[in-house]
Every structure is written in C-alpha cells, then in structure tokens.
Amino acid sequence: MTAAGQRHKNLLKRLAMMSTLERNHQKSHRGRPGPELVRPGSSPHWKSTGKTEARAVMSTGDRQSIHGQWSSRLAFIMAATGSAVGLGNIWKFPYITGENGGGAFVLVYILCVAGLGIPLLMAEVMLGRRGRQTPINTMRTLAGEANASQGWQLIGWAGTLAGVLILSYYSVIGGWTIGYIVHAAIGDFSGLTGDGATSLFGDFVGSPLAQVGWHTAFMAITIVIVARGVRNGLEKAVTALIPMLVVLLLILLGYAMTTGHFMQGLTFLFSPDVTHLSGTSVLTALGHAFFTLSLGMGTIMVYGSYIPKDTSIAGTSIAVAVADTVVALIAGMAIFPIVFANGLAPGAGPRLIFETIPVAFGHMAGGTLFGTLFFVLLLIAAWTSAISLTEPAVTMLIENFNVTRRAAALWTGLATWLLGFGTVLSFNVWADVKVLGLNFFEHLDFLTSNLMLPIGAISMALFAGWVMSKTMSREELDMKSEAGYALWHVLIRIVAPIAVSIILLHAIGLY
C-alpha cells in the first residue's frame, strides 16, 4: 500500500472511531441533542447534532473530550491536588516557612497563593475545560475562537515538552524513594550516623545500574496507570493514593507527637517572626505559590479538560490550593519534631529527605517501621505528580498521531525513561561533566523550572486576560459574583504577568 493510501486508511479509521463515540453519547442522552465531541484542532463553532448537517454554535457547553472525564468534582480536586503535592511539599515548604519568619511567612504565602496561584490555576483549568483537548490542540482551538494567531499553540507545545523533561528527572528521584523504602524496611537506618547517612546516599546514587533499576520500576508503574485511561487509570489511582497519603501523614504526625519536641516543631513552623521577613522572603513565597500548584506545564490544563461543565472552576481551584497548603503544613508538623528530637539541622534542604531523616529514624523507637512509612509517603506524593506530568504528552500523541492510549503511554514512557539516563549519570559517571558550570541534570532543572514554566504561565495569563474575550471567560468561569469575576480578570491581566515576570527575572539572576 502506498503512503497516501495508508494515510487515507488511517483517516477513515479515525473518523469511524469518532462517529462511534458520537453515537454512544447520543444513545446515553436520548431526548436531547448529543454533546459535542471535540475533534483535535477542529473549529470551536461547529458541533454534531445527530443529524446529517452540522450547525454553527456560539456556546461550548456540551463540548466533550474524547479521552473521557472525571466522575465528580471531588475526583478532579484529588487529581489536581495529587499533581500539586510532590516531593517539594514534604521538605521545601516547611523548611522555607521556618527560615522566613514562620507564621508571618505563612500569611505572606497565603496572600501570594490568593493573588497569584489561584487566579493562574483558574485560568489554566478554564482554558482546558473550554478546549477539551490536549494543551496543544486546546490552544489552537481557542486561538481560532478568539481570531488570534495560531502561534499561541506554542504554549501547549512548550508545556508538554516541559512535562516530559521534568518527568525524566523526577522519575529518577522517585526511584530513589523506592530504594530507600527497601533500605528502611531492612533496618539499614538503625544506629546510622550523619557520616553514615552521607555515605549510604553517596553509594546509592553512585551506582548507575541500581539507579536505572529503580528509575525503571517507578516509570513502569506510572505508565501502567496512565495507559488505563482517565476513569480506570488516573481517577482510580488518585482516589486511592491521596487518601493513603493523608492517612500516612496523620500516622507520622501522631508519631511526631511522641518525640517530646512537638511544640518545638510547631514553634519553628508557626511562630511569627517579622524580623526574618525581607524582600527575599516575599520573592520566596511568591515563587513557591507559583511552583507548588504545577502551573505552566499543561498538566492542570489537560486535567481541566476532563471536569464536568457544571463544576465550579473557582471553587475547585480554591479547594486544590487549600489542600496543597494543608498537606505541606502537616508534613512540616510531622517532620521537624523528629529532626529536632535528634539534634539535627532543619535547614538541610533537599538533603533532609535522604540524609537527615534516615539518621533521625535510625535513633528512634519504631524507627524502622515509621521510616519505611515515611518513604512510602514520599513515593505516593511522587507518583501522583508523575501521573499528571505524563498525561499532556500521552493525549498529544493520541490526538495528533492517531495512536491508542496504551501505545501513547508506552512511547511517552520509553522516551522519558531514556532521557532519565542523563540524570542517572549526572550523579556518578557524568558528575564532573559540566557546561557553563552545570551538569546534565542541573541544566534540565534550570531550563524547566527557571525558564519554561514561568514563560508558559505568563503566556497563559496573557492569553486568558487579553486574548480571550470577557464573554468567553465569563461564560466558562460562570462565577456567581460579578465582582469576583472582575477581581479575577484584573489579577490575571495585570498582577499575574507582572508577578511571574519577577519570579522569572529573580530565577535567572536579573532581579
């Protein structure tokens, strides 16, 4: 068969699949017109009505994603919370809170979340639900709907690429948590000293073969979950993993209360000390309010494409932001009493997880059990984030390259797994191979965190605030309060682009 003939055959198969989906929708909604099933890159002004002709429509209320949707508002909240709650929540937020004024910093952070995080989260969810496609095709469709340049679809391409790049090293670090579950369970932390913990971690990351094995295990389970689809894969996973994460956090919190240093931990986290607040503290709060909610990489946009039309975008966005903050604070309440009980430094940063915490558990009653539970907690947090990072690339392959979800998940996983080798080798064989002072892993981290995500978020804010008409955004957000909508519009048009630009300039050392 010629190449042209094969393309024609694939197109006929794809149209047949779409027609079958439309008929199934119409059978399940007898008595009223069937909902619009969005064809990738299609015009937003046309939908199927079950008749022989198509008619122009101005509303997108019945538009549906071909990938399915969440069963409820709660399912989306848990999925988005799972995307937001990652390894950084377990160590970074509690640490920066204690180092920047405790309760005073928490107040500044909450204001940053309210003024920056929630408006951006609402915008990304809004774009996703209105487009009902992968971020690339959503931006293409919405740009057409607004009679704007198709260059806006670059937001989708950049976000999808950023997700894959981040996942490639996040999977390696997620694999470390699996390895440390094993170390904790077999008692390797018992009697561990600070030098011993450093040596243990150095030997662990110094073995490329072992790292590849844990990286493979983490990536394989992630891909199996994503390959099962929205309802049977993503939703079932997050509705099981998020409650487990909360239960484990509460168990560790109860354990922390028995250390005799619980009040010291609370004081470290919540005692307001304005003398520690500075301009840098505000920038730290602003930056964390942005990064913690997984903004700018398309994961929230694609998750937003799966939420039901009658779900409040504002209400769910607030719920996700609150849940993310509460999880981070409980993590701090659980971790720091354990750290203080052993006279260890709370400012260990990333080392806190793999060097400081093992020493703490190694010298406490029940340390083997609770140390194991702690790293299981980390693994769950890593998995829920990894699932969301995979989804934009998977949906892009399904919509744009006519492959099945299983094949898309497999190809995404394979590409990410191979790219992860660069991060594996950055901690051993390539540790001293540096360009401009950074190794492979450090370049990936700088490119994604300091450049791609902020630029993506600025672009989304500009599109939602300046390119989309107020009629479109007001219709999709469907906020009951006109004053609330007006506030959001000002924040997304003016405050968010300026604030994220400051984050970007600060990250690259220009502010």
pLDDT tens for 71-101 read: 999 999 999 999 999 887 887 888 788 778 7
pLDDT of the residue at 276:
79
pLDDT of the residue at 40:
54
pLDDT averaged over every residue in the chain: 86
pLDDT of the residue at 55:
32
pLDDT of the residue at 135:
96
Neighbours of 6 (CB within 10 A): 10
Query: What is d(CA 300, CA 304) in angstroms, rounded to the nearest whole number?
Result: 6
pLDDT of the residue at 431:
93
Tens digit of each residue's pLDDT (9 = 90 or more) over 389-441:
999 999 999 999 999 999 999 999 999 999 999 999 999 999 999 999 999 99
Tens digit of each residue's pLDDT (9 = 90 or more) over 169-228:
999 999 999 999 999 999 999 999 989 999 999 999 999 999 999 999 999 999 999 999
Start-to-end C-alpha separation, the chain:
59
> Which of these, 97, 125, 120, lies nearest to 503 by C-alpha position?
120
**Residue 474 CA from chain centroid, whole number:** 26
Sign, CA dihedral 362-367-372-374, equals negative
Strand, coil or helix: what is 51?
Answer: coil
> Which of these, 129, 137, 125, 151, lies nearest to 39 by C-alpha position?
137
Looking at residue 198, what DSSP letter applies?
H
DSSP H or E run through 46: strand 46-47
Please identify which residue in the block is written with the tokens 């190694």: 362
DSSP letters for 362-421: HTSTTHHHHHHHHHHHHHHHHHHHHHHHHHHHHHHHHHHH---HHHHHHHHHHHHHHHHH
Q: How confident is the model at residue 60 (pLDDT cuts 50, 70, 90)?
A: low
Query: What is d(CA 313, CA 400) in angstroms, rounded to the nearest whole number?
Result: 27
pLDDT of the residue at 355:
86
Q: Helices 87-99 & 103-112, crossing angle to 10 degrees?
A: 120
Alpha-carbon distances, residue 476 vs 122, 325, 331, 471 (angstroms): 10, 26, 35, 9
Tens digit of each residue's pLDDT (9 = 90 or more) over 282-318:
888 888 888 889 898 899 999 999 999 889 999 999 9
Question: Please, is 53 exposed, middle or buried when counting C-beta atoms within 10 Å of its C-beta (0-12, 13-18, 19+)?
Answer: exposed
Tens digit of each residue's pLDDT (9 = 90 or more) over 359-384:
989 988 899 999 999 999 999 999 99
Looking at residue 40, what DSSP letter applies?
T
- Residue 4 reports pLDDT greater than 50: no
- Residue 27 reports pLDDT greater than 90: no
- Residue 455 reports pLDDT greater than 80: yes
Q: How confident is the model at residue 38 (pLDDT cuts 50, 70, 90)?
A: low
126, 303 Cβ separation under 8 angstroms: no
pLDDT of the residue at 122:
97
pLDDT of the residue at 104:
87
Tens digit of each residue's pLDDT (9 = 90 or more) over 245-273:
999 999 999 999 998 999 999 988 888 88
pLDDT of the residue at 339:
85
- Residue 59 reports pLDDT greater than 90: no
Q: What is the pTM of this model?
A: 0.85
Looking at residue 457, what DSSP letter applies?
H
Please identify which residue in the block is written with the tokens 């027609």: 19
What's the CATH number of domain 73-270+279-507, 1.10.4160, 1.10.287, 1.10.10, 1.10.1060? Answer: 1.10.4160
Share of the chain above pLDDT 70, in %: 87
pLDDT of the residue at 349:
66
- Residue 56 reports pLDDT greater than 50: no
| Range among 148-152, 264-268, 449-453 with highest mean pLDDT value | 148-152
Instruction: Map out the domains of the chain as residue ranges.
Output: 3-56, 73-270+279-507
- Residue 8 reports pLDDT greater than 50: no
